[in-house]
């Protein structure tokens, strides 16, 4: 029997050997043009690669196309992979990038006011340091999240801020908030749930509300 870390020869490995071999061993065989080894890898990772893509593109057929592109690209670029890298990390990065390409191609062209805002921002950023630019960008893209966080009860907001933005562990947050670790875990859980419902309300508002309506039409409505 072939051990997970043993080599897979292009003609010698049985189906059982292939199925038991580690990803990296199989992909090493792929680099020697072993298509059977690659087929085993596709069978092994097709589901997660498709799911990864579907979480971005939200369309099963497109997700399958992305998965296909991902595996074909992995095969074509197999000599670019370095054996010291984990195969799945490398593969999933290809998948995410392919899914992003699809997402971007499908995204509708921005409406005129949005373009003007971006141009204005670009002009401002010329005189700014990279850090200032990042913080400006940060504030813009985080508007929705910041609003949702601000609306949380103070204790939930503080726990989430300390955990996610100050990167403190639960024990340190408990000390800082003069409470128990169990309470902090409960605060984090409730905070995430409240945040989820508020962010979903924002999404519903943008879908059912003003989305796709011109500024003039919005004024008329108001």
Partner 1 sequence: MDILEFRLMLDALGPEIAAWPQDAANAAVELLASSEAAQDLFAASVASAPSVPDGDATRLVDRVGEMISRGRKA
Q: Which stretches of the chain bind partner 1, using CB under 8 A?
A: 35, 38-39, 42-43, 46-48, 50-52, 55-58, 64, 67-68, 71-72, 75-76, 88-89, 92-93, 95-97, 100, 103-104, 107, 138, 141-145, 160, 164-165, 167, 192-193, 195-196, 199-200, 202-203, 206, 211
Minimum CB distance to partner 1 smaller for 16 or for 201: 201
Least CB distance to partner 1 at residue 127 (A): 23
Least CB distance to partner 1 at residue 160 (A): 7
Least CB distance to partner 1 at residue 206 (A): 6
Least CB distance to partner 1 at residue 100 (A): 5
Minimum CB distance to partner 1 smaller for 46 or for 177: 46
Neighbours of 168 (CB within 10 A): 17
Minimum CB distance to partner 1 smaller for 6 or for 68: 68
């Amino acid at each position: 029997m072939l051990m997970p870390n043993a080599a897979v020869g292009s003609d010698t490995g049985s189906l059982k050997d292939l199925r038991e071999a580690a990803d990296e061993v199989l992909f090493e065989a792929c680099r020697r043009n072993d298509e059977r080894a690659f087929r085993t890898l596709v069978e092994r990772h097709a589901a997660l690669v498709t799911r990864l893509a579907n979480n971005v593109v939200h369309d099963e057929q497109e997700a399958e196309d992305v998965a296909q592109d991902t595996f074909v690209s992995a095969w074509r670029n197999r000599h670019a992979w370095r054996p010291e890298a984990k195969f799945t990390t490398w593969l999933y990065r290809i998948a995410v990038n392919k899914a992003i390409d699809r997402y971007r191609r499908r995204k509708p062209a921005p409406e005129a006011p949005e373009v003007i805002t971006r141009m204005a921002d670009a002009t401002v950023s010329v005189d700014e340091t990279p850090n200032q630019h990042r913080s400006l960008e940060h504030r813009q893209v985080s508007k929705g999240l910041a609003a949702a966080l601000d609306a949380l009860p103070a204790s939930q907001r503080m726990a989430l801020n300390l955990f996610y933005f100050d990167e403190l562990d639960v024990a340190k947050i408990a000390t800082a908030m003069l409470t128990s670790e169990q309470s902090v875990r409960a605060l984090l859980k409730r905070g995430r749930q409240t945040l989820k419902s508020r962010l979903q309300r924002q999404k519903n508002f943008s879908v059912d509300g003003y989305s796709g309506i011109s500024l003039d039409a919005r004024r008329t409505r108001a």
